[in-house]
Every structure is written in structure tokens, then in C-alpha cells.
Amino acid sequence: MAEQTFEQCFQRLEQIVLALQQGGLTLEESLALFEEGMGLAGKCSGHLTAAELKVTQLRSAFLEDMPSGADLSADMLP
């Protein structure tokens, strides 16, 4: 099975939070959902970390490609 996207993980995590907030679950059901939610939270964190790394790499590559002495103000940087 293909890895879930950030959006898929986050959507399922929202469903789990809603189910836990609504109550009416057995202890076993609550624990199972909590465990699934913790796994999804870790996956979401991994996706965000990977995205942050990609942005950092792209920004570095952009700055390296700029001609030396180019005057860029901070608000012009990606």
C-alpha cells in the first residue's frame, strides 16, 4: 500500500479526535484510536519535517544560483 499523504493522515487524525471527543467508546476502542492517532501524528510530523527540509534545500539552491553581489532584501527571499 502506498504511503499516506499528509492530508490523508491529518484527515484521519481529525476523525479520531472527533470520535474521542464525542465519547461513547469502550476503553479498548478509545485506546485503539489513541494508538492510531499517535501513529498518524508521527507520520504528519515526518511529512512536515520533510517539507521543511525541501524548502530549506530549495532556498539554499536559489541563493547559490544568485550572482554574487546581488542585493536582495529579506522580503524578496523565498
Confidence band, pLDDT 50/70/90 cuts, at residue 78: low
Of 17 and 74, the structure prediction assigns the larger pLDDT to 17
Extended strands (E) in 1-78? none
Quick one: cell of 19? 470520535
User: According to the model, what pLDDT value does residue 71 have?
Assistant: 59
Confidence band, pLDDT 50/70/90 cuts, at residue 70: low
User: According to the model, what pLDDT value does residue 17 have?
Assistant: 98
Q: How many CB atoms lie within 10 A of CB 47?
A: 18
Prediction pTM value: 0.75
Best CATH choice for the domain 6-62 from the list 3.30.300, 2.40.128, 1.10.287, 3.40.640: 1.10.287
Domain boundaries, the chain: 6-62
pLDDT higher than threshold 80 for residue 13: yes
Q: How far apart are CA 13 and CA 69, in angstroms?
A: 47
Mean pLDDT of 58-73: 77
